[in-house]
Structure 1
Amino acid sequence: MKIDELALKKIAHLARLEVKPEEAGVLLQSMDTVLTWMDQLNEINTDGVEPLTHMMDEVNNWREDISANNLTRGEALSNAPSQDGTYIKVPKVIE
C-alpha cells in the first residue's frame, strides 16, 4: 500500500497533527516502511494459531491478605515525633 500526500493530510487531520511541508517527505517514507512491514506480516500463514490475550503466561503470586498486629503500642510510640503516652500526636489539619 502506498500513501500519497493527500492521504497523509487526511490522516494528519484525523489524528489532529500538524505536518509541516518539510516534514511530509520523511513522514511519507516512514509510513511507507511501516505499511510494507505490515504487508510482510500478512504473508505469514497463521492458520491454527490461537490469538494472544497476553504476551506472557506469567501469573501474579499474591500473598494472602491476613490482618496481623506486628507492632506493639510501645514500639509505635517510641518512633513517633510527638506522643502523649497512649496516642501519636499529629498536627491539626482540619479547622
Structure 2
Amino acid sequence: MSVDAATVRRIAHLARIAVTDAEVPHLQGELNAMLAFVEQLQEVNVEGVEPMTSVMPMQMKKREDVVNDGDMVDAVTANAPDAQDHFFLVPKVLE
C-alpha cells in the first residue's frame, strides 16, 4: 500500500496537524515506510504463539478480591465540610 500527497494532507487534516507543502514529501516517505513495515510484519507466521504479558516468563501478581472499608472512615471524612454517621452531607442542588 502506498500513500500519495493527497492522503498525507487528508491525514494531517483529520489529525488537526498543520502541514506545509514542503513537509508533505517527507511525511509521505515516513508513512510509506511505516506501512511497508506493517506489511512485512503480516508475513510472519504466528500460528500457535501464545500472547505474552512480559518478555520474561512470570505469573501475574494477584491479590484476593476482598471488599472492605479501608478502616479509614474517620480520616476520609475528616476534611469534609459536613459529615454525619460516616457519610458526606451535600447541599441539595435540585428541588
TM-score, normalisation: structure 2: 0.54
Query: What 5-or-longer segments of structure 1 have no aligned partner?
Result: 61-95
TM-score (norm 1): 0.54
Aligned partner of 1:55 in structure 2 is 54
Runs of 4+ in 1 over 6 A off after TM superposition: none
Kindly provide the CA deviation profile for residues 7-61 of structure 1, in whole angstroms up to 9, marking residues without a partner as x: 1111111111111100100110111111111110000001111233x3344867x
| Structure 1 pair 59–47 and aligned structure 2 pair: CA distance change class (3 A) | closer
Q: Secondary structure at the match of 1:21?
A: coil
Q: Distance in 2 between matches of 1:20 and 1:9?
A: 9
Q: Which has the larger radius of gyration?
A: 1
Q: Structure 2 unaligned runs (5+)?
A: 62-95
Tell me if 1:20 matches 2:25.
no
Higher strand proportion (structure 1 or 2)? 2
Percentage of pairs with the same residue? 34
Check whether the contact 2:3–2:28 (CA below 8 A) recurs between aligned residues: yes
